[in-house]
Amino acid sequence: GELPLAWPEYARAVFDVLSFANLNIELTSPECGLGASHVYRFKYVLTMLGPVLLLIPFCVIYGINWAYGRWVDAHGEAYLRNHPGAMDVLPAAASRRARWTRRKARFRTEILVRGRGMQAVMVRAYFQLVTILFLPLASVALSYFDCARDRDGRLSHVPSPSDECFSGGHAAWIPFAVFFTTAYCVVLPSAIIFLLVNRRKVLGPIEFALRYGFLVARFREQAYYFEVAVMARKLGVVFA
């Protein structure tokens, strides 16, 4: 059923954006173009490898930033020598042309984040994305073990009813399912709690909050580990 709630205008706008940005693998039907012999298993593996595939755009962005930094290092000083005054502070009434010239000079001579700073940004963004995807990843990982008896008494696989659980092709893929389930449902939360506990001992409270705010900012200082409790609650939802 549906629960009609009077959401405010800004909330509906946020929901519209999230709905537009939501990617559903069912809509793309990649198995059609790749000729997958078993649709469910193909989509299962593709979903489980999602966090690995997400590394590709992060690596591309990091590579572009690295190349841009090398370009600035090689040509920035020469540009300033050939354009004296290009980085001077502009008055409030400066013309549009003068503002554009200064923006171009900044683009050719400055880079805000590089090296370890860029690595830290990439790592934080990636871990934040993975924690957001924890619920669908855990749900899909555990779906391989979702079995039920049909009318004929056969133990069939609910997401793929043509398969009989724990026999044939389904049994052959169980080691992969165990690996992915362990990785997302056990290793990931354990790694997060291990990271938070150990880094909190080493870093001061301010630096700890700045570095790991994406994991701890929502909670009180004493409950810095509560993101793992939220993940455990999400697992409870999956099992329910």
3-class SS string, 125-142: HHHHHHHHCHHHHHHHHH
DSSP letter, residue 221: G
Identify the residue with better confidence: 31 or 180.
180
Q: Which of 31, 64, 39 is nearest to 160 (CA)?
A: 39
pTM of this structure: 0.71
Confidence at residue 187, expressed as pLDDT on a 0 to 100 scale: 93
Percent of the chain with pLDDT over 70: 85
Q: Find tokens 């962005």 and name the residue.
A: 61
Q: Which two tokens stand for residue 57?
A: 């755009």
Summarize pLDDT for 2-14 with one digit per residue, the tens.
556 666 665 565 5
Q: Helices (H), strands (E): how many in the chain?
A: 15, 2
pLDDT at position 23: 47
Query: Do 215 and 134 form a contact (C-beta atoms < 8 A)?
Result: no
**156: enclosing H helix or E strand:** strand 155-157
Whether 207 shows a pLDDT value over 80: the answer reads yes
In this predicted structure, the answer to whether residue 24 has a pLDDT above a threshold of 60 is no
pLDDT tens digits, 147-205 = 988 888 889 998 888 888 988 888 999 999 999 999 999 999 999 899 888 888 888 88
pLDDT at 226 over 50: yes
SS3 47: helix
What are the two backbone dihedrals, phi and then psi, of residue 112, each rounded to the nearest 5 degrees? -75, -40
121, burial (CB in 10 Å: exposed 0-12, middle 13-18, buried 19+): middle
Q: What are the backbone angles phi and psi of residue 156, rounded to the nearest 5°?
A: -100, 155
Instruction: Calculate the alpha carbon distances from 73 to 68, 81, 86, 109, 169 in Å.
Output: 9, 14, 17, 8, 56
